[in-house]
Each structure stands twice: as C-alpha cells, then as structure tokens.
C-alpha cells in the first residue's frame, strides 16, 4: 500500500515538473505557443551542434529560446525570427540549408546518381543481349552433351 | 575503353570519396564563419562593470583598434587565457572585456552587482588584468547580437568600429600568430 502511494506521489510530482518546464514561457494564444515549439525544433543550438534549441540545455540555447519567445510576443513572424537568428549565427542556426552554389550539390548529386545509375542499367541491358551466335550455341551443346 | 569504364571509373569514384572523407577528419565543425564580419558593432547601451552608473555604447570602439574579449569568472578556459591576454596588454594592445554572468535565471534570483564585482576583482588580482575596462552584458543581449556562442570568444575591432575577426575559443600564442598577428599589424599600420 505504502509503495503504491509513493509511486502515485512520484507520478504526480513528475507531471507537475513537466508542466512547470512547459509553462516557463507564457503566450497570448495557442498559435504563438505552436510557433514557439515549431521554431525551437527548427533552430539549431550553436554550441552543442547536434541538438535543436528545444533539446539543448546549454546557456546559449536558453538565451536563444528566451529571444524567440520575446520576438514572438512582439508579433514577429517565423520568417522574421529565422532571419534574425541567421543574421547573428549564420545559416548554420537553421536546420533547412539555403540553396546556394555550395549547397546545390546536396540536391544535384543524389538526382545525378539516380539518373546515371538508371542510364547505366538501361545501357547494359540493351547492349549485353543474351543471344548466342550459331557457333557459340554449338559449342554449348557439345559441352552439355559431354556432361552427360 | 570498356576496361577503363569497368575498373577506372569505380576506382576514380573511390579515390574521390576517400579524399573527401579524409579531409573531413581534419575539419572542425565548431569553426563557424561569423556573419557579422566587416560590419559595425551592433548598437548597445550597457554599464561599466566596475562602475555601473557609467554606460558605454558602440561608439566606445571608435578611434582605436580593440580586442573585445567575452569572458566570465565561471569560465575555466577564460582563466587559462587571462595571463596571455595580460601579456598582450603589456605589449600595448587595447583589450576590452565583455563580461556576462551565468546567473540570469529568475528562479534562482540574481546575484548582486557588488558580488559580481568582487568575484571579478579577485580573479583579476590572481591571474592578471588585461582589460582597459569591462562592459557588463547584463542580459547577454549584446553577446546574442554579436553571435557569441559561449566564452571565451574574442573579436578584433578596427578603429572605425567594424568587426574584422571573430575567434571562438581561447586566445593563445599559436592562435595569435596564425590568425590575429598579421591582420592586427595591418590595422595598426593603417592607423
């Protein structure tokens, strides 16, 4: 009984803790909250590079989250906020890379590879036919007969 | 020709991949190109850490080549670079500190300014004081505008208040020679 009670207590406290972390930022409406969640997932922490802002606990990530919150309350759009971050932390800070002469290869290479591979398959099928010449057929026949 | 296609092409592709991946071994993912290079320092209005009724703005960088060093007493690497920065100051370089405190979380209450000043004075007395003065970035807004990711970081600012270099990590003789020395000499020479 006592253990069941303690489990219950633990669950209750745990959910309160989760709610508390969620409620640290206050918003005027649900749409703003949704934008906040979306942006903190799409923006990358400049310090711990394989985490987004929502996941990261680094000081810089907390500062950026606070800034995102502040800008949302000011009524700025997602694009404006992403632009604000890019101006300070470069394209790196946003998970979606821009298309430019350096990054265009990310799109060209896979498509190019598929085209080249497809072309190679078609080319080899056309050329490498399985038709045997008469002489080859005769030779094959003798080999088969020898086997018996 | 066909032989080349069968053996040469995959070999070529393999070698190209090898070179690409080998180069990747030595690339530093933390080395980010600052997006503020060649731009003037963003607008700010912040107090002098040691004398909070005095405030600075971006014009404080005009007329002098400055090294702006982002630091804090809580930062271990900063403590390691302080003696070297002090040496740079003794060589006549103008170094300004951009100080920020870790403790901004309202849940834990803010440290008093006196407490921060005391900590800073202790640290500087112990390891050397390279700073002409310290700008107190109270809410870390200037750091954010400068694209600072943590401490220590150092900016080289020219006499027109433009950011010329942004270095992430500590400043040491090797980094100075490799990254700063020639640029700095160029700026001071032009002054």
Domain range summary for chain B, segments of one domain joined by +: 34-190
CB-CB neighbors (< 8 A) of B29 in chain A: 49
Question: How does DSSP classify residue A132?
Answer: P
Contacts A–B by Cβ distance under 8 A: 36
Name the residue of chain B whose CA is nearest to A60's CA: B149
Residue B17 in contact with partner chain A when CB distance is under 8 A: no
Name the residue of chain B whose CA is nearest to A91's CA: B35
A93 closest CA partner among B181, B34, B72: B34
State percent of chain B over pLDDT 90.
64
| Sequence-distant (≥ 6) Cβ neighbours of residue B134 within 8 angstroms | B48, B49, B50, B96, B97, B98, B99, B120
Q: Nearest CA of chain A to the CA of B64: how many Å?
A: 24
SS3 B169: coil
pLDDT tens track for B52-94:
899 999 999 999 999 999 999 989 999 999 999 999 999 999 9
CB contact under 8 A, A49 and B36: no
A85 closest CA partner among A34, A39, A38: A39
Per CATH, the homologous superfamily of domain B34-190 is Glutaredoxin (3.40.30.10)
Per-residue pLDDT tens listing for chain B (191 residues): 677 777 888 899 999 999 999 998 888 776 777 778 888 999 999 999 999 899 999 999 999 999 999 999 989 999 999 999 999 999 999 999 999 887 665 445 567 888 889 999 999 999 999 999 999 998 888 999 999 988 899 999 999 999 999 999 999 999 999 999 999 999 988 76
């Amino acid at each position: 009984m006592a253990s069941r009670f303690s489990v219950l207590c633990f669950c209750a406290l745990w959910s309160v803790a989760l709610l508390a972390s969620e409620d640290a930022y206050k918003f005027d409406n649900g749409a703003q909250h949704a934008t906040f969640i979306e942006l903190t997932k799409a923006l990358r922490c400049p310090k711990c590079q394989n985490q987004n802002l929502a996941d990261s606990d680094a000081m810089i990530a907390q500062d950026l989250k606070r800034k995102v919150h502040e800008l949302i309350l000011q009524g700025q759009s997602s694009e404006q906020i992403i632009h604000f971050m890019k101006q300070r932390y470069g394209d790196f800070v946003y998970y979606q890379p821009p298309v430019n002469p350096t990054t265009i290869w990310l799109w060209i290479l896979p498509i190019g590879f598929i085209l080249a591979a497809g072309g190679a398959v078609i080319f080899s099928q056309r050329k490498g036919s399985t038709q045997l010449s008469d002489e080859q057929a005769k030779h094959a026949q003798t080999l088969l007969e020898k086997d018996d | 020709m066909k032989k080349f296609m069968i053996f040469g092409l995959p070999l070529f592709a393999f070698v190209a991949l090898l070179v690409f991946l080998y180069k990747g071994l030595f690339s530093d993912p933390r080395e980010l190109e600052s997006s503020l290079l060649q731009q003037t320092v963003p607008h700010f209005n912040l107090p002098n850490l040691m004398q909070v009724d005095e405030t600075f703005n971006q014009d404080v960088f005009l007329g002098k080549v400055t090294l702006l060093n982002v630091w804090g007493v809580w930062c271990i690497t900063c403590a390691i670079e302080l003696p070297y920065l002090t040496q740079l100051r003794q060589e006549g370089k103008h170094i300004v500190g951009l100080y920020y405190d870790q403790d901004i979380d309202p849940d834990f209450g803010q440290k008093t300014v006196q407490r921060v000043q005391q900590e800073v004075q202790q640290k500087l007395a112990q390891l050397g004081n390279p700073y002409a003065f310290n700008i107190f970035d109270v809410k870390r807004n200037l750091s954010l505008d400068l694209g600072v990711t943590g401490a220590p970081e150092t900016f080289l600012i020219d006499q027109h208040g433009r950011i010329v270099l942004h270095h992430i990590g500590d400043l040491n003789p090797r980094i100075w020679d490799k990254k700063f020395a020639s640029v700095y000499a160029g700026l001071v020479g032009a002054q």
